[in-house]
Amino acid sequence: MNPNDTSIDLSAYFARIGYDDARRPAPTLDTLRALHLLHPQAIPFENLDVLLGRPVRLDLASIQRKLVAGRRGGYCYEHNLLFRSVLEALGFRVQSYAARVLWGRADAAMPPRSHMLLVVELDEGAFVADVGFGGMTLSAPLALESGLEQITPHGAFRLEKIDPDARLPHFRLDALIDGKWAPVYRFDFDPQYGIDYEMSNHFVSTYPQSIFLHNLMAARLAPGRRYGLLNRRLSTHDDHDGTTHRDLASVADLRRALSEEIGIHLPDAPDCANPVTTADLDAALARLSASHPA
């Protein structure tokens, strides 16, 4: 692939996510919902490159080589830049924005804009699309309406309008967890450009206190399930059986979870298009095992 190529290989992407592309889909809400459901079930969230000290490249050729041809995963910029390119190629009207992550934060300090999301304009209205938020990734677009509980294939969410006196409208995404609403992130409609994501990507992949530098983070959706891996703990949320946790005792267990539950095409596979050495990966997993004992 030409590293300067800005074209999207729709056939390869559709094959990657298991979408029947016998006919080029129209830019409709039904198409958006179908793609939004399949993408996070096929392409996992993961930060292996950052953990291994490798650069995360955001040009479209590199993203396709890694997430599509290489059958790897990535984090928000990679996922949503790929998804935006697909949607735009199909004729959707898409805008890119940035969010401040609130999920898992115990303090009240204002976090940086470190997450990417999309807003898709349709005849039915505007919809938030986001296929790259780890274990809480959406599996359906959300209508951009304040206070409306929206049921997706993987749980209930809502968007709440906040800071009504701000120059730009601000919204907060909430998830319904065990009967209570929990904040996920907040965003406004200040347009973001490629260079903005390059700066944010550099920050989250190199800042010494970035959570991505010192933790293994991986996730994938499956029908009726969410898989999440944080260091050595594998969590499975099942719609019927609830949430279970399993601590992985060895490097072999970690590799098996990354391959099976998370669905990452590991680097020792001969056809991997974005290889890292088995030795490098195992060394990183061994360091995690030592720094995060069971």
pLDDT for residue 84: 98
Structure tokens at 11: 């056939």
To the nearest 10 degrees (0 to 180), the angle between helices 29-42 and 10-17 is: 70
Q: What is the mean pLDDT of residues 80-92?
A: 98
pLDDT for residue 180: 95
Does 271 score more than 50 pLDDT?
Answer: no
- Can you point out the beta strands (E) in the chain? 45-46, 93-101, 113-122, 125-129, 142-143, 150-152, 155-162, 170-177, 180-188, 217-222, 225-230, 233-238, 242-247
Q: What is the pLDDT of residues 31-51, one digit of tens each?
A: 999 999 999 999 999 999 999
pLDDT-above-70 percentage for the chain: 91
Q: What is the pLDDT of residues 190-201, one digit of tens each?
A: 999 999 999 999
Q: What DSSP designation does 215 have?
A: S
**Sole residue written with tokens 């009967």:** 179
Does 100 score more than 50 pLDDT?
Answer: yes
Average pLDDT over all residues of the chain: 91
**Neighbour tally for 196: CB within 10 Å:** 16
- Which DSSP string do the residues of 72-87 spell out, in sequence order? --B-HHHHHHHHHHHH
Q: What burial class does residue 179 get, using C-beta atoms within 10 Å of its C-beta: 0-12 exposed, 13-18 middle, 19+ buried?
A: exposed
Catalytic residue among 36, 39, 115, 237: 115
Q: Which residues pair with 181 in a beta bridge?
A: 176
Q: What DSSP designation does 24 have?
A: P
pLDDT for residue 277: 64
pLDDT-above-90 percentage for the chain: 76
Structure tokens at 255: 């590799």
Q: What DSSP designation does 55 have?
A: -
In 3D space, the residue among 203, 202, 200, 228 whose CA is nearest the CA of residue 216 turns out to be 228
pLDDT for residue 1: 37
Max mean pLDDT range (27-31, 238-242, 254-258): 27-31
> Where residue 5 falls among pLDDT bands split at 50, 70, 90?
low
Q: What is the pLDDT of residues 113-162, one digit of tens each?
A: 999 999 999 999 999 999 999 999 999 999 999 999 999 999 999 999 99
| Contacts with 180 (C-beta within 8 Å, 6 or more apart), sequence order | none
| Contacts with 55 (C-beta within 8 Å, 6 or more apart), sequence order | 49, 205
Class of domain 10-291: alpha beta
Catalytic residue among 76, 79, 174, 265: 76
Domain map (residue ranges) of the chain = 10-291
Active-site residue flag, 130: yes
Does 185 score more than 90 pLDDT?
Answer: yes
Active-site residue flag, 115: yes
In 3D space, the residue among 109, 241, 237 whose CA is nearest the CA of residue 176 turns out to be 237
> Where residue 59 falls among pLDDT bands split at 50, 70, 90?
very high
Q: What is the mean pLDDT of residues 225-237?
A: 95
Does 289 score more than 70 pLDDT?
Answer: no
Half-sphere exposure of 79 (CA within 13 A, CB side): 31
Q: What's the rounded Cα separation, in Å, for the pair 101 and 2?
A: 34
Does 4 score more than 70 pLDDT?
Answer: no
> Where residue 266 falls among pLDDT bands split at 50, 70, 90?
confident
Active-site residue flag, 272: no
